[in-house]
Chain A
Amino acid sequence: DAGVIQSPRHEVTEMGQEVTLRCKPISGHDYLFWYRQTMMRGLELLIYFNNNVPIDDSGMPEDRFSAKMPNASFSTLKIQPSEPRDSAVYFCASSFSTNSPLHFGNGTRLTVT
């Protein structure tokens, strides 16, 4: 079991650039979640998918953020254009079903200068 795989581990970009974060969930998991963690706001749920379909995106900060899940083994979180306040650690998590624990990746640390 390789766990949830996120890439890149670190991303440094300039304000205004497009940023794409990637996630490969654990095989067989039907739920995928994107979280953001900052010192000020802690861990926040941005969006989650069930069977590749977005279920709740109420946590997405604004239209600059978008997430897709084109198939069961891949998801992206895109920020366009990026701003310094987007700097955070972004986590992807997956779970087998409604009553299964969340399995988190090791996150992508994003720095926007």
Chain B
Amino acid sequence: DAKTTQPNSMESNEEEPVHLPCNHSTISGTDYIHWYRQLPSQGPEYVIHGLTSNVNNRMASLAIAEDRKSSTLILHRATLRDAAVYYCIPSGGYQKVTFGTGTKLQVIP
């Protein structure tokens, strides 16, 4: 599995955009980049995934560097409900999703 590096924690003001970075310099050419988040006292929740192109869905956007060695999860307007631990996971298949320590996002009202 590719090694990932994420900040341990980040803060954001409510209703402002948040950019959560992830470095995955050892990612293989066929690995997708998955993002999950875990709210307090809940199981992880799928956010988004991509391979090479930037991706958008109702929850977030995923910007992938051209060399694929890093990616950024973008929350366009942070809400209090977005306070969670965010996991960046390069993986060759969903069955091989391995969670690291993630980034704990704090949203300030």
Q: Using CB atoms and an 8 Å cutoff, list the residues of chain A in contact with chain B.
A: 4, 31, 33, 35, 42-43, 45, 48, 50, 55-56, 91, 93, 95, 98-107
Contact = CB atoms under 8 A, between A and B. Distances in A.
Interface of B is mostly: loop
Candidate in A91, A98, A102 with the most chain B CB atoms within 10 angstroms: A102
A67 B35 CA distance: 27
Contacts, number: 47
Interface of B: 34, 36, 41-46, 49, 93-95, 97-101
A63 to B, nearest CB: 23
Nearest to A109: B41
B95 A56 contact: yes
A20 B36 CA distance: 27
